[in-house]
Amino acid sequence: MSANERREHILELLNIRRSEKIENLAAEFGVTERTIRSDIEALTCCYPIKTKRGRYGGGVEVESWSTSSAAHCLPSKQSFCTGWLEPWTDTTWTR
């Protein structure tokens, strides 16, 4: 599964569940918590989701005013997000 596919699935799950822990998403997708945090960071650029801190790892939730039909990225924001995220999604980049 590519990063974009995973992010789409994360967004779909959040629209259904409204809130989820980072560790649960990581286990569900078989990736590290850091990968999920990167995905969430990318998604917050265009979608009404936010992270929350917590004693047990925190999580991510959809803004209370948002509905699934409102969670679509405007073309202007989408181009901004795509340009901003390119260096972070390059598969040749390593830490």
Scanning the structure block, which residue is given the tokens 């509905």?
67
**Model confidence pLDDT, tens digit, residues 37-95:** 899 999 888 888 888 887 776 788 887 776 654 445 555 555 555 555 555 444 444 44
Question: Is 11 buried (19+), middle (13-18) or exposed (0-12) by CB count in 10 A?
Answer: buried
pTM of the predicted structure, to 2 decimals: 0.64
Please give the helix or strand (H or E) that residue 25 lies within, else none: helix 22-29
At 79 the pLDDT is 55
